[in-house]
Amino acid sequence: MISIKDLHKSFGNNEILKGIDLKIKKGETTIVIGPSGSGKTTLLRCLNLLEVPNKGTISIGDNELIFGENKEPTDKEILKLRRNTGMVFQGFHLFPHMTVIANIMEGLTTVLKQPKKAAHDKALNLLDKVGLLDKADSYPHELSGGQQQRVAIARAMAIEPSVLLFDEPTSALDPELAAEVLKVMKGLSLEGMTMVVVTHNMNFARDVGDNIIFMDNGIILDNGTPEELLTNTSNERIKQFLSLDFN
């Protein structure tokens, strides 16, 4: 489903990703954990080409992009890959001047050029899926943080991506509101949605993750099932990280 080979990304002289190799299977939920500054968010943003890698290869489905000194992707190639990925950010990123349903319809009508009626019907179905059908005509400022994030998930799902990318989707929420969002994400996982989730929520990682990746200092230090990585790891760096209290 997703293949990453020898992926490098630097900002100036600061090398953030130092040769990432990773395969993600269709229908699996991959959880990315690790300390701040380890490259987790940069990896996610490279998958959506919000950041363009300096070197390496990214394949999502049938789309393969190769990066290097003389290999810059075209706008058409970037758009094609982005249509296969839906991104959910830590800060929601909803359009404040648009209603909830308009936020979800925006990508359908402007990017995919769908008729407004079809986009409206699809947006209503997605709102129903995330439990917010009654908020269709509300504005973002009228919603709780948890509700805004659920709208953001619905918006990301609207283009029917091959994979959903989540960048610490509950870190700005209190535990009760975070639980609303995690419940929706768990439901998507059970339905077989391919997801890559950067999170510090170890309970969610343990309950929902099919595969856990531990990043540190720009590399993948280890990966495995939740049991292998979160319960039975022999890696001292990972043990040290897991001993911290994230609640």
pLDDT at 62: 85
pLDDT at residue 247 greater than cutoff 80? no
Residue 245: band (very low, low, confident or very high) from pLDDT cuts 50, 70, 90: low
Give me the chain's average pLDDT, please. Answer: 93
pLDDT at 198: 97
pLDDT at residue 20 greater than cutoff 80? yes
pLDDT at residue 29 greater than cutoff 90? yes
- How many CB atoms within 10 Å of residue 32? 28
- How many CB atoms within 10 Å of residue 230? 20
| Domain spans in the chain, listed from the N-terminal domain onward | 2-91+163-242
124-131 average pLDDT score:
96
Residues 6+ apart with CB under 8 A from 61: 1, 84, 162
119-134 average pLDDT score:
96
What is the Cα–Cα distance from 114 to 120, expressed in whole angstroms? 10
128-157 average pLDDT score:
96
pLDDT at residue 2 greater than cutoff 70? yes
Burial class (CB in 10 A: 0-12, 13-18, 19+), 187: middle
pLDDT at 78: 87
108-122 average pLDDT score:
92
What is the Cα–Cα distance from 160 to 34, expressed in whole angstroms? 29
pLDDT at residue 112 greater than cutoff 90? no
pLDDT at 75: 87
Could you write out the three-class secondary structure of the chain? CEEEEEEEEEECCEEEEEEEEEEECCCCEEEEECCCCCCHHHHHHHHCCCCCCCEEEEEECCEEEEEECCECCCHHHHHHHHCCEEEECCCCCCCCCCCHHHHHHHHHHHCCCCCHHHHHHHHHHHHHHCCCHHHCCCCHHHCCHHHHHHHHHHHHHHCCCCEEEEECCCCCCCHHHHHHHHHHHHHHHHCCCEEEEECCCHHHHHHHCCEEEEEECCEEEEEECHHHHHHCCCCHHHHHHHCCCCC
Identity of residue 134:
D
What is the Cα–Cα distance from 131 to 27, expressed in whole angstroms? 23
Whether 228 contacts 31, CB under 8 Å = no
Report if pTM > 0.95: no
What is the Cα–Cα distance from 177 to 149, expressed in whole angstroms? 9
Q: What is the CATH number of domain 2-91+163-242?
A: 3.40.50.300
Read off the pLDDT of residues 52-84 as tens digits, 9 standing for 90 and up.
Answer: 999 999 999 888 999 998 888 888 888 888 888
pLDDT at 27: 95
Read off the pLDDT of residues 157-214 as tens digits, 9 standing for 90 and up.
Answer: 998 999 999 999 998 899 999 999 999 999 999 999 999 999 999 999 999 999 999 9
Residues 6+ apart with CB under 8 A from 21: 4, 5, 6, 7, 220
pLDDT at residue 246 greater than cutoff 60? no
Report how far Cα 154 is from the mean position of its chain's Cα atoms. 13
pLDDT at 82: 85
